[in-house]
Chains A and B, each alone.
Chain A
Amino acid sequence: MDNNRLQLSKDLISNLSTEKNESCEWLAKIRKTSEKRFLNHGIPLAFDEEWRLSSPDHFNKVSLCSSGENHEKAPSPFEKLKKISIVFLDGVFSKDSSDNLRANGIEVTMLDEVVTDSYHWSKDIFGKIEKNSQIISKRPLAILNTAFAQSGVLIEVTDNIEVPIELKYVCTKNNSGCLIRNVVRVCSGNKITLIEHFEGNGWSNICTELWAEKKAIVEHFRFKYLSRDSCSNTFLFVCLQEKSELRSSALSLGAGHSRNETHISLDGEESQCSISGASYLGEGKTLDDDTVSVHHLKPNCKSRQVFKKVQRASSVGVFQGKIRVEREAQKTDGYQTSRAILLDQTGKFLAKPELEIFADDVSCSHGSVSGAIDEETLFYLQSRGIDETLAKNILILAFLSEVFEEISDSNIKDLILSFTEKHLKL
């Protein structure tokens, strides 16, 4: 590695510490080795293959100042949803803002509570799925998270849990930030609905590793409602065992620089995943990046990716979607589509679909389209008395709602739809 990158990487971690969990030997060890792994990889730079389409600068600027101040609450689509909320304020678990975490079917531990060297189930998962994902695409900022996460939650799902679990990350100030690491294990045959909710400001790097055992079902929803100055890097690493299923969907209605990296290992026969995302960020030079990789390791698995973005003036939308099918993964069914509406000629959408197929009996398809709002359709709406602004918003909602159709939890789907309607003043 060149010296420049190494120096930058050292600078980046000079203010960070792996010592958070010294009292837990296995965790301390993982963190130490991850620090080395991070320095081996080095921070991402603009000429790296994974960063050709979006600049890593903002994501590299770690800022972990915590203010914990009161902040103005943003509207939430989940206000009326019955759920268990786990709230982090500037990276610190806030017991006051969170619900009672004792519920049938789940065991919840805070990352900094995993003390002593006694056995904890997360030992076999922590950092492991992240590390495996690096085979497909390099993600040094996820290694950074493994090594230096300040806080997070470990959730073991031992029975079906009907109420959704909401992980809410609030950054209160411009210069506040957080590095959060969650690990979720869904035991055989169980189901969980997990919501990740991003609100406020600041810099964040938040990583969730999810281990789904045989026949487990995971519903995941990510909602971003961040300010224009925010920088938000998320990672979702999932390992799916036999006949398990992941349905992950997302809506971003606000962020300055946003990159969502998702990696799925289909590591058991007949497992399946659908990953989708809709986004419509604010005015200005925003970046909205979805980088997805799906790794088919076993036969008879299905994967599906549906991404839709609306770009305003001078904003950039990025979709990188990789499907890798190993030789053993016969009868793979892979589907990928990404589409964007450019509301203005200065908005951009950059897509990089990649298929790496080593098996011969597979069906994989991908497609990517972007363009302005269809003039004929817009005129049709106007010719029914609907003014141009309203007509455009109706078409934006219609465009994004194809992603909402991917949400299988009908409560969440309805809430997201009506929140978006309100957001668009419909």
Chain B
Amino acid sequence: MLKINDLKVKIDDGAEILKGLSLEISKGEIHAIMGPNGSGKSTTSNVLAGKPGYEVTNGSIQFLGEDFNQLTPDERVVQGLFLAFQYPVEIQGVTNTNFLRTSINSVLKARGEGKMSPGEFLTKLKTKANELGISSDMLKRSVNFGFSGGEKKRNEILQMAMLEPKLAILDETDSGLDIDALKVVSSGVNSLRSTERSFLVITHYQRLLNYILPDFVHIMVQGKIVKSGAADLALYVEKNGYSEFLS
């Protein structure tokens, strides 16, 4: 599904952040990336989502066989990518519900499918919001505006649940969640698991991986993956830290 090959990325003012990243995710798999602060995890997710300000100097990103690097951020969503942000943005003056409606209808339109009927949309929204413990008041408020850290993260998962992506990247979605919210969010993710859908989970805490069991765990250090393994690799770094991976 996703194939990143020897990817090197510079930020616009010159520094190289990703230094030869390779990663392959197949249909239905869950991959986790762990790594010290500043190792390039969020940069990876931003580059995958098409954020401006980065320059790919080497390598390629292929998503479902297509060269992803040529696509605008919204086109990537149409192809089936979703990024849950580490720091979701507040948008004053745009209600959560309108935002979601516009988002879904934009994607459906770009895919050449018909709009979702208002009734169908609202029913789906209510069901998903309920599952995630998001009140109807939060749906009426401006997107993320004045939301608590945990509420913002839950709102990201709501957007994911509404858009039903093929590949979802969760960038530290567990940070700032209390233990109950962590369970709610994890079960939200798990309910979307399918043989057709893949996840890339970025986290600092092995704890999350108790709830969302990964097929593979990768350790990222200084802009590349230095070790990959099964779920127990997360337990190993939790115990021993990253020191042995730092050169």
Contact = CB atoms under 8 A, between A and B. Distances in A.
A103 to B, nearest CB: 37
Given A375-B52, A379-B52, A390-B106, A384 B91 contact: no
Contacts of A388: 72, 74
A398 B92 contact: yes
B93 A385 contact: no
Contacts, number: 75
A148 B53 CA distance: 58
Contacts of A426: 102
Interface string B73-103: 1101110000101001101111000010011
Most buried by A among B73, B91, B92, B103: B73
Contact of A386 (B49, B76, B92, B102): B102
Nearest to B93: A398
Interface string A385-402: 111101100110111011
Most buried by A among B78, B83, B99, B104: B99
Interface residues on A, range: 20 to 34
Interface in B32-69: 49-53
A358 interface: no
B77 A384 contact: yes
A407 to B, nearest CB: 15
B50 to A, nearest CB: 8
Contacts of B142: 398
Q: Which 7 A-B pairs have the closest CB atoms?
A: A398-B93, A385-B77, A385-B107, A382-B73, A384-B103, A380-B89, A382-B74
Interface residues on B, range: 20 to 34
A270 B73 CA distance: 53
A76 interface: no
B245 to A, nearest CB: 30
A395 B88 CA distance: 16
A386 B83 CA distance: 14
B88 to A, nearest CB: 7
B159 interface: yes
Contacts of B52: 375, 379
A310 to B, nearest CB: 13
